[in-house]
């Protein structure tokens, strides 16, 4: 007899998730991304998107996409190393390398694939990887898949990391891996201190700046730029293009030797179809706006300050975040779901984030801001939050 999946076992596991308030569901969006969304027949103010600079529906970015689609079609046809690497891909890589101050950059189809590919290409059995306890799942998975010894240090705790590295032999290849901006807390990794420690220990430092790239730094090149760290100080820089850039995909930037090694050895690069050329063209247009429109970053900072001040006035406890990510920890998963549902009923979309995305007992509302929000939107959200806690 053919093997049959036991449906009752699957249904029981799904029911367990529901009983624990950990069941995930999708809402269907019926409009383009923006601060106002049409969701399942109703309009809501969007406070859960990573479109930090409001570029996902920018008319000029869309025009670049359409023009490239007319010229190159929709699909890339194959992997980069077969026949999928086009002019738009190549020019975007060169522009990203210049923007980040690195020798070269390499495109990946997703941020998850970039992190898996980079870590598994550079690390192997017998090596050791040190990861922040709150790193993104893709970084943790990359570390586990590499086969290297895997050690996690306390969140943003350089002293704890240093203690764990005391037994590290200088002849042993090592890598320190961290998010730049932590996606669920909104705080920053201490990259300046991590860089000093990595150089002292002759270890790679890999930074995934997914939520800082485009938003932080004097030119928008991210947290690494804000700390003014060079390619030598941060040899492995990863950024995503589907957040502040409003497009899709990801990249790794570093030395010529690093990029060539990843091209030759990263399975998630070698064995996947390249991004559509039109996406690369749209991303190049987004990069132009990131470089040119500093007002977007300035406005984002202003909105965050306004929200923080208003939250203090109504007695809301926020996490220590200076980024566009402003979490409110509620602790209990059911409480977080109920709060999110209440806000949605009031016309505000704020996601409830629960374990295993965050540690047990730290379920939260994850509020994010876009440069396309205005002060009135912030004030309306604060009023709804005050009503929720009343």
Catalytic residues, by residue number, are 183, 211, 243
340 Cβ neighbours under 8 A, 6+ residues apart: 350, 351, 352, 365
Rounded Cα–Cα distance for residues 320 and 326 (Å): 8
Q: What's the half-sphere exposure (Cβ side, CA atoms, 13 Å) at 237?
A: 32
Phi, psi of 198, deg, nearest 5: -60, -45
C-alpha distance from residue 363 to each of 8, 25, 34, 308, 311 (Å): 29, 16, 26, 20, 19
DSSP assigned state of 181: B
Q: Which helix (H) or strand (E) holds 223?
A: helix 223-226
Cβ count near 6 (within 10 Å):
9
Backbone angles phi, psi at 224, to 5 degrees: -60, -40
- Cα separation, 192 vs 204, whole angstroms: 14
Give the C-alpha separation, 151 to 97, whole Å. 31
Angstrom distance (rounded) from CA 150 to CA 144: 7
Phi, psi of 378 (to 5 degrees): -60, -45
């Amino acid at each position: 007899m053919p093997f049959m999946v036991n449906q009752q076992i699957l249904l029981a596991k799904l029911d367990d998730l529901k009983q624990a308030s950990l069941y995930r569901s999708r809402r269907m969006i019926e409009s383009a991304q923006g601060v106002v969304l049409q969701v399942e027949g109703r309009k809501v103010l969007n406070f859960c998107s990573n479109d930090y600079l409001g570029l996902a529906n920018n008319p000029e970015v869309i025009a670049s996409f359409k023009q490239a689609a007319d010229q190159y079609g929709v699909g890339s046809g194959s992997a980069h190393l077969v026949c999928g690497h086009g002019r738009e891909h190549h020019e975007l890589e060169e522009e990203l390398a210049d923007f980040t101050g690195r020798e070269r950059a390499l495109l990946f189809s997703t941020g998850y694939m970039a992190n898996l590919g980079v870590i598994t290409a550079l690390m192997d059995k017998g090596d050791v990887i040190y990861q922040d306890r709150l790193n993104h799942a893709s970084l943790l998975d990359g570390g586990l898949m590499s086969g290297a010894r895997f050690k996690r240090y306390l969140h943003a705790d350089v002293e704890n990391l240093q203690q764990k590295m005391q037994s590290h032999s200088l002849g042993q290849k090592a890598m320190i891996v961290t998010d730049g901006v932590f996606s669920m807390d909104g705080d920053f990794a201490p990259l300046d201190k991590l860089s000093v420690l990595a150089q002292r220990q002759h270890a790679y430092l890999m930074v995934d700046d997914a939520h800082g790239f485009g938003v932080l730094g004097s030119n928008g090149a991210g947290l690494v730029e804000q700390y003014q760290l060079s390619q030598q100080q941060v040899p492995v820089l990863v950024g995503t293009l589907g957040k502040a850039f409003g497009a899709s995909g990801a990249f790794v930037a570093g030395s010529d030797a690093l990029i060539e090694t990843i091209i030759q050895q990263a399975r998630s690069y070698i064995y996947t179809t390249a991004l559509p050329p039109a996406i690369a063209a749209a991303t190049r247009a987004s990069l132009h706006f990131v470089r040119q429109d500093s007002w977007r970053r300035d406005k984002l900072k202003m909105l965050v300050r306004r929200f923080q001040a208003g939250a203090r006035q109504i007695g809301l406890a926020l996490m220590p975040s200076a980024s566009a990510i402003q979490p409110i920890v509620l602790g209990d998963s059911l409480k977080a779901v109920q709060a999110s549902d209440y806000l949605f009923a009031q016309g505000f979309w704020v996601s409830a984030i629960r374990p295993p995305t965050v540690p047990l007992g730290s379920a939260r509302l994850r509020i994010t801001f876009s440069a396309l929000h205005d002060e009135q939107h912030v004030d309306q959200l604060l009023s709804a939050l005050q009503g929720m806690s009343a």
